[in-house]
Structure 1
Amino acid sequence: MIKIKSEYQKLTPLWIAVFVDILGFSIILPFLPFFIAEFNSSPVIIGFLLSSNAIFGFFFGPILGKLSDNYGRKPVMLISLAGTLVGFIILILSNNILLLFIARIIDGIFSGQFPIAKAIIGDVVPPKERPKQMTNIGIAFGLAFIIGPAIGGLLSPFGLIWPGILASLLTGFSLVYTTFYLEESLPKKINSKWQGGVIETPGLKIKSASIWKNNKTVILVIQYSFIAITGGILQTTFSIFAGIRLGLSPFIVGILLTLLGIFQIIFRLLIFNRLRKSLGDPITALLGLGTYIVTYLFFGIVTQVWELVLLLFFLSFAGSTSQGIITGFTSRSVDNQNQGKIMGITTGIDNLTQIIGPIVGGILLSLTGNIPYALVLSLLSVIPFLIGFKVLKFGYDNREKDITTDKPSLLIKAPAHN
């Protein structure tokens, strides 16, 4: 029997690294109006400031992921954390818009925490359990988005200095903690054993095939892309929607975003595992994807704050029950030699949506009424939902008794009992 609980406690450095990475972005959100006034800038320039991190992360995420495939997960993770720390230090010293751009760009260049965390999960977690652990990344993400804006708001009277110092201290802690407690997981460096032997892959000497020749991988990447695009549009333009359509203040919008994060954590901790055990991963993901379609449609007729809270409730359910599972399926579709590469690709897709999301969402919100905005989001959500029926045939049901993978050379082996 695989000792999942004791083995996966060693993933803790990953959750801390992801949390720190997202905190660095979310902590500056309350300062956006301040940037416009303080640096005599414009909303357009501030928009580019936000997207600059995602632009460089889009190009460097896959590179860092591939480097981790070649040189090991731990050294590249440490380099990424060190780069993030440098970015925060520059943020503290920023007294003009150019330094702010440099700080965000450096953070984007070294934004390897996400792809490497996903790759490590792919290395050490059996395929059936990967959706659960991938969803834990969402927990770290959600917590950072709850805590980050709150910290930024509370410390805003002191300018960027104290939020930047706090973020730097947290990153430094993560760097030290990762140095001592994260164990290398790259199979070819440790003979596919992660200090205890959860996974053995005796066939790794066989040359790895291109991931783009794997039909399952291509289908899952397409599905992931459409989910990321719709989520990116809403995430980057929700504040605008709430402000111009419902007339909500930034304070109320901040509360709503906090509620969104809280809802996600509640669903992840109380509902997600029960649904997986009852329905299986593919059906659970389909349920979430179907919920997206309906919920986005109701954005076209929402007029009250309580209605918006209800929609965020269902959006949290949809995301909590689908995104981690689909990421886990994508990881499962490739061999261990390509874990870093495929997770770098998914992270690059996420960054790309942070670039195009504000543009598409802004165009839709410039049209009359809410219907175009809601209709486009809903129609985009139909595509991954339909793809979900194809995924049902992949045999990725977590309720199967035997642990299997897509590669005949992979063998899951439990550590021996003492």
Structure 2
Amino acid sequence: MRLPLIFVLTTVMIDAMGIGLIMPIMPNLLVEVQGGSLADAAIWGGILSTAFAVMQFLFSPVLGSLSDAYGRRPVLLISLFIMALDYLVMALAGSLWLLLIGRLVGGITAATHATAGAYIADISKPAEKAANFGLLGAAFGAGFVLGPLIGGLLGEMGTRAPFYAAAVLAGLNFALGWFVMRETVTDDTRRAFDWRRANPFGAFRAMASIPGIKGLLWVYFLYSVAIYVYPAIWSYFTAEQFGWQPQMIGVSLAIYGISMALVQGWLLRHVVRWVGERRTVIWGQVFDFVAFGILAVITSGNLALALIPISALGALVQPALQGLMSRAVADNQQGELQGVMTAVHALSMVVSPLMMTAAFAQFSDRDTAYYLPGAPFLLALVLMIIGCLVFLRTRPSVT
């Protein structure tokens, strides 16, 4: 299973890299395509990002359910093939509407995180699931670090270069998967595709009917909204509070990505073995309490940098939650579950930036009654505390 696992982890990494690869060049690309000011480009950039997240929300359960019915292999390979073509279209796009279509299609193909998670569940023993889900998180963290770095370098060659690079990466991984990926869905675990359960709302209702899962999904949503405070306002917060320039902001994000990859790829399996999945979730939330509380009032940039590894320890929560939920559902529902979780995460990516940036704008304005640029972290802290209370009251049946 080593080569298939490498293929699946690489797919997740490319999903993360694909987003980061194009971030450094999007402002210049949008100005190049439509003309106008950087402010106009920012508006369209927000539209493109929201369109991507909405498609992930809508189609993650669809791809997850399709993988339960037809297998992980065809869903992953077809998505990668379309992803490669989509990046080529975006590389050649000469209008905003074509870029928008490209982001809509990209959001659908990037919804394969659900299928990748289902594959991990297929090959993992119950006690190994949380640790192996951590490998997915580590792969995503690696992509989060590498994407912007490579995108920035390639951006020096032109605004279209990162798209061509993303297309090549997706194409090469498609070729690898074609030769090494083996199907893990068997006749015993195959489940017929049902549109009523494949849409995000129907899939959520189906999962919520399983004892304990509904509460854990709410915990996962609250956690995702809270933790998204970092990508939502970190650049603005550190520039306002510490006077950081883009280079320093990039370095801090890279440190966070590397720390998160180490936590989920290495530390997690040891923590789960020592204290179990439930306590791992609680400890991860405690580290988030500490990080959010300090960041809300901190005034030292050096202290903020030193705090990053502690902040990254909060990454223990997600894979441990995934492990608990995966153990509570049947083998023929793994794709559906992972689809629901990916949809919940995508929904948080729509909700959180709106909440966090609004809080930052309100409390960082020079005319505000109470100046506190770290206010979004207080909001994240409240959400995390609510999630922890819900988690303590929820006990799913596990195998």
- Decide: shared fold, TM above 0.5: yes
Aligned ranges 1:194-273 → 2 under 5 Å: 210-273=206-269
**Residue 359 of structure 1: CA displacement?**
1.0
Query: What's 1:309 paired with?
Result: 305
Question: What's the secondary structure of 1:28's corresponding residue?
Answer: helix
What letter is aligned with 1:133?
A: N
Contact 1:299 1:370 in 2 (8 A): no
Aligned mates of 2:157, 2:96 — CA distance in 1: 18
Question: What's the secondary structure of 2:110's corresponding residue?
Answer: coil
Aligned mates of 1:45, 1:103 — CA distance in 2: 13
Query: What's 1:92 paired with?
Result: 91
Distance 1:270 1:119, change over 3 A: closer
Residue 355 (structure 1) aligned with residue 358 (structure 2): no
Unaligned runs of 5+ in 2: 191-204, 364-371
What letter is aligned with 1:356?
A: V
Aligned equivalent of 1:385, options 364, 383, 388? 388
Aligned mates of 2:94, 2:174 — CA distance in 1: 27
**Residue 8 of structure 1: CA displacement?**
5.5
Aligned mates of 1:112, 1:371 — CA distance in 2: 32
Distance 1:96 1:305, change over 3 A: farther
Aligned mates of 2:265, 2:168 — CA distance in 1: 28
Aligned mates of 1:16, 1:234 — CA distance in 2: 24
Stretches of 4+ aligned residues off by more than 3 angstroms: 7-10, 393-396
**Residue 9 of structure 1: CA displacement?**
5.4
The sequence identity of aligned pairs, in percent, is 25
Distance 1:23 1:56, change over 3 A: same
**Residue 314 of structure 1: CA displacement?**
1.4
**Residue 48 of structure 1: CA displacement?**
1.3
Contact 1:115 1:347 in 2 (8 A): yes
Instruction: State the aligned residue count.
Output: 372
Contact 2:277 2:324 in 1 (8 A): no
Residue 345 (structure 1) aligned with residue 345 (structure 2): no
Unaligned runs of 5+ in 1: 1-6, 194-208, 397-404, 406-418
* Deviation readout 1:92-118 (Å, 9 max, x if unpaired): 112332222122111112223200011
Aligned mates of 2:352, 2:213 — CA distance in 1: 24
**Residue 192 of structure 1: CA displacement?**
5.3
**Residue 256 of structure 1: CA displacement?**
0.8
**Residue 82 of structure 1: CA displacement?**
1.6
Query: What's 1:401 paired with?
Result: none
Root-mean-square deviation (Å): 2.0
**Residue 302 of structure 1: CA displacement?**
1.6
Contact 1:73 1:184 in 2 (8 A): yes
Residue 34 (structure 1) aligned with residue 28 (structure 2): yes
Aligned mates of 2:111, 2:375 — CA distance in 1: 36
**Residue 184 of structure 1: CA displacement?**
0.9
Question: What's the secondary structure of 2:156's corresponding residue?
Answer: helix
What letter is aligned with 2:280?
A: T
Give the alignment's TM-score, normalised by structure 1: 0.84
Contact 1:300 1:374 in 2 (8 A): yes
Query: What's 2:4 paired with?
Result: 10
Question: What's the secondary structure of 1:344's corresponding residue?
Answer: helix
Aligned ranges 1:38-53 → 2 under 5 Å: 38=32, 39=34, 40=36, 41-53=40-52
Larger proportion of helix? 2
Moved more, 297-306 or 252-261: 297-306
Aligned mates of 2:241, 2:335 — CA distance in 1: 41
Residue 135 (structure 1) aligned with residue 153 (structure 2): no
* Deviation readout 1:344-398 (Å, 9 max, x if unpaired): 111111111221222111110012213532221100001222233345x5576xx
* Deviation readout 1:185-218 (Å, 9 max, x if unpaired): 1132xx459xxxxxxxxxxxxxxx9432212211
Distance 1:277 1:345, change over 3 A: same
Aligned mates of 2:31, 2:242 — CA distance in 1: 25
